[in-house]
C-alpha cells in the first residue's frame, strides 16, 4: 500500500494513518511508515518480551514483529490482518494490526494532548488524540512502545559520560520536545555535558511563544542562542517552528538543531530546505552535544 502523500514544507500538517484494533480506531504518523503488507507467519524468538510475536525476513531484511494488541493490554492477536512496517530511530519494526481505514491530513493544531480523554492503559503510549468525523483517534507513541520493550533503543545517555570532564557553559538553549521523559533526558544530558542555561518547552508553539516574548522585551540573546526541536509535536511541529525562526530577520541566525526519531533522507531534505543548521536521529545524544559545541562554541 502506498502511504505517501506530498506535504508542503513547514505547514504544520501531518498525515495520520488510521488503523483498527478490536474495532477501535488508532493512528500513526505516515512519516514513520515504510510500507503496509498482509500478515505473514513469523518465527517466535525464545525468551522474548511478551509483546514480540517473532521475526520474519521480507526481501532479505530481518524485521521484528510486535503485537500491538498485546502492547495495549487487549489480549493477543490472531493470525491475519496486516503488518505496518515502520522506520524510525534507525530501526525497522512491523506492528500487527487488524485493518487499515485510510489516511487523514490534519493540522498539528488539532491534535489534542492526551489527558482525561485517554484511558490510563493507553495514556502513557499516546502522543495525542484527533477527532475525525465522530471518532476520536488515539495517535500512539510508537517510539515509547519500542523503548518499553527494549530500553536500549532509547536515548544513549551513556554517551554523555564518555565525553569526559567538560567546562560549564552559560549559552542559553531552548528545547522543544513534547515527550516528558525525553525532555527530561535531554535536559539532564545537556546539563551533564556542561550546558546549564536551558529552557524546555513541550511543543513548537510554546517554544515560539518564548521567542516572541524575548523579541518583545529585547532579551533574545539572553535567553535563546540555540534551539533544539523534535519534529512530531502537538500544536506546532518542529518543521513549522524551524520555518518561523529562519523566516524572521531577528531570529534567522539562531542555530536550529532538529533532533528527532524521524530524521531520514527524505526528512533531511525537508529540514535543509527550511534552513535547519543540523539534523540528528534521536538515539545520538552524544552527537547532539558535539553539534551544539560546534554551533555555539
Task: Decide which of 141 and 242 is more confident.
Answer: 242
Contact 243, 271 (CB under 8 A): no
Residue-level pLDDT at 116: 47
Confidence of residue 158 (pLDDT cuts 50, 70, 90): low
Confidence of residue 250 (pLDDT cuts 50, 70, 90): very high
Look up residue 117 and give its three cell numbers.
480523554
Exposure string over 225-250, b if 16+ CB within 10 A, otherwise e: bbbbbbbbbbbbbbbbbbbbbbeeee
Look up residue 264 and give its three cell numbers.
531520514
Confidence of residue 5 (pLDDT cuts 50, 70, 90): very low
Tens digit of each residue's pLDDT (9 = 90 or more) over 194-225:
898 999 998 999 999 999 999 999 999 999 99
Amino acid at each position: 500500500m502506498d502511504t505517501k502523500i506530498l506535504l508542503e514544507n513547514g505547514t504544520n500538517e501531518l498525515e495520520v494513518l488510521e488503523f483498527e484494533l478490536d474495532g477501535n480506531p488508532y493512528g500513526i504518523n505516515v512519516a514513520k511508515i515504510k510500507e503496509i503488507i498482509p500478515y505473514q507467519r513469523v518465527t517466535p524468538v525464545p525468551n522474548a518480551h511478551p509483546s514480540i510475536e517473532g521475526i520474519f525476513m521480507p526481501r532479505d531484511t530481518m524485521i521484528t514483529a510486535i503485537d500491538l494488541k498485546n502492547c495495549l493490554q487487549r489480549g493477543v492477536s490472531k493470525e491475519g490482518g496486516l503488518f505496518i512496517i515502520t522506520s524510525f530511530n534507525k530501526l525497522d519494526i512491523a506492528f500487527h494490526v487488524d485493518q487499515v481505514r485510510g489516511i487523514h491530513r490534519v493540522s498539528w493544531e488539532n491534535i489534542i494532548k492526551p489527558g482525561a480523554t485517554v484511558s490510563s492503559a493507553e495514556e502513557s503510549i499516546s502522543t495525542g488524540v484527533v477527532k475525525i468525523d465522530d471518532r476520536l483517534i488515539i495517535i500512539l507513541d510508537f517510539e515509547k512502545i519500542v523503548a518499553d520493550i527494549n530500553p536500549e533503543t532509547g536515548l544513549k545517555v551513556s554517551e554523555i559520560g564518555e565525553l569526559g570532564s567538560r567546562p560549564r557553559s552559560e549559552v542559553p538553549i531552548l528545547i522543544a520536545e513534547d515527550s516528558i521523559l525525553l525532555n527530561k533526558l535531554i535536559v539532564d544530558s545537556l546539563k551533564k555535558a556542561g550546558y546549564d542555561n536551558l529552557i524546555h518547552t513541550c511543543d513548537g508553539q510554546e517554544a515560539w511563544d518564548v521567542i516572541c516574548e524575548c523579541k518583545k522585551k529585547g532579551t533574545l540573546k539572553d535567553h535563546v542562542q540555540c534551539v533544539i526541536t523534535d519534529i512530531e509535536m502537538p500544536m506546532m511541529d518542529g518543521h513549522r517552528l524551524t520555518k518561523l525562526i529562519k523566516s524572521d530577520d531577528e531570529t534567522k541566525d539562531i542555530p536550529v538543531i532538529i533532533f528527532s526519531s524521524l530524521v531520514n533522507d527524505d526528512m533531511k531534505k525537508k529540514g535543509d530546505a527550511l534552513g535547519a543548521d543540523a539534523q540528528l536521529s534521536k538515539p545520538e545524544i552524544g552527537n547532539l552535544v558535539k553539534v551544539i559545541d560546534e554551533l555555539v562554541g
